[in-house]
Homo-oligomer: A and B are copies of this chain.
Amino acid sequence: MTTEGSPGQGQGLHTHVLDTLGLAITAGEYLPGSVLRTDEIAERFDASRTVVREVVRVLESMHLVESRRRVGVTVRPTDEWNVYDPRVIRWRLAGTDRPRQLRSLTVLRSAIEPVAAGLAARLATPQQCAELTEAALGMVRTSRGHQLEGYLQHDIAFHRVVLNASGNEMFARLGDVVAEVLTGRTEHAVMFHDPDPAAVTLHVQVAEAVREGDAERAEALTRRIAVGALEELDVLAP
């Protein structure tokens, strides 16, 4: 049996091969420097060379591999990967070094989100303010009685609105990353108990500060949320 068939089966051969290979590489199954030949891949997945070439080109565009003549497709060292590519992030979160990845993403959040909140306080539209308070109130409502799923949704919505309202496209594009991290925390999660009431309160206060246009307060409060997230991570994975 040469064919493979776990991830992404139902979306075209290209997606399937790409996902499988990307997951394998990011999971460290192929060490940096190791080589894959295109026809070897083609045989392994029972796909044509055209499909394999397209996949290799995409992996190359993510800086996961480098394709050189006469030598093959070589896996690049980790520190050259495009770690901001959403697909790479997803692969790494699904793979073996999920804890490391979760930590570095949380540190990233803790740098970005306070600044984003400060900007949001200055720039948020009335509608965004409304969405923000709605999300915060949703968090309050679902913060008791093991409604973790509902809580998560409101939490994600909250942070998404803040990032969007910042008016900075680079921040806005991190919405998916934050969603991924929050989801990961809940899933992975040693959150048997209800969410930290202090965190919920902070979210409500951030919504207030943004509504009132108090940039400094919004930033400071969000920074406290970030510190909380980092501490939580230290408890879970020391």
Contacts and interface: CB of A to CB of B under 8 A. Distances in A.
Nearest to A112: B111
Interface string A143-176: 0000000000000000000000000111111000
How many copies of the polypeptide does the oligomer hold?
A: 2
A110 interface: yes
A57 interface: yes
Interface stretch (A1-9, A27-35, A78-86, A124-132): A78-86
Contacts of A172: 79
A107 B114 CA distance: 12
A62 interface: yes
Contact of A50 (B50, B81, B82): B50
Interface residues of A, number: 34
A107 B170 contact: yes
Contacts of A84: 82, 84-85, 170, 173
A170 B115 contact: no
B57 A170 contact: no
Interface string A68-82: 000000000011011
A108 B170 contact: yes
Q: Closest 6 A-B residue pairs measured CB to CB?
A: A84-B84, A111-B115, A108-B170, A54-B57, A58-B61, A104-B170
